Amino acid sequence: MQENIINLIDENGVESAFEIILTLEAEGKEYAILVPVEEEEAEEALIFRIDQDEEGEILVPLEDDEEYQIVVDVYNTLMEEEGLNFDEDEQ
């Protein structure tokens, strides 16, 4: 399970561990869905595009709202197909 754990450094220089819970493809690009390791009940996930550079794979934050929504839609479709969709009205 450790291979799915990565450390990210925020803009304040604080390092936090995240688990890659899913990778998916949308419109020919690959994305990683990450959740914080320390938060048991994490309500939000982070989405990064997986790009290649000279050293290998890098995670690039999404800055485009349209790209973000495309990935969220693909994620929701995958969850529905797996029977894992979450209906917020059933809380």
Task: Give the model's confidence band at 66: pLDDT under 50 very low, under 70 low, under 90 confident, else very high.
Answer: very high
What local confidence, expressed as pLDDT, does residue 17 receive? Answer: 93
pLDDT digits (tens, 9 = 90+) for 1-40: 457 899 999 889 999 999 999 999 999 999 999 999 887 6
The answer to whether 61 and 68 are in contact (CB under 8 A) is no
32 domain-assigned: yes
The answer to whether 49 and 59 are in contact (CB under 8 A) is yes
91 domain-assigned: no
Burial 5-32 (b: 16+ CB within 10 A, else e): eeeeeeeeeeeeebbbebebebeeeebb
90 domain-assigned: no
What local confidence, expressed as pLDDT, does residue 1 receive? Answer: 44
What local confidence, expressed as pLDDT, does residue 85 receive? Answer: 60
What local confidence, expressed as pLDDT, does residue 90 receive? Answer: 42
87 domain-assigned: no
The domain total for the chain is 1
Q: In terms of residue numbers, what domain contains 70? A: 5-82
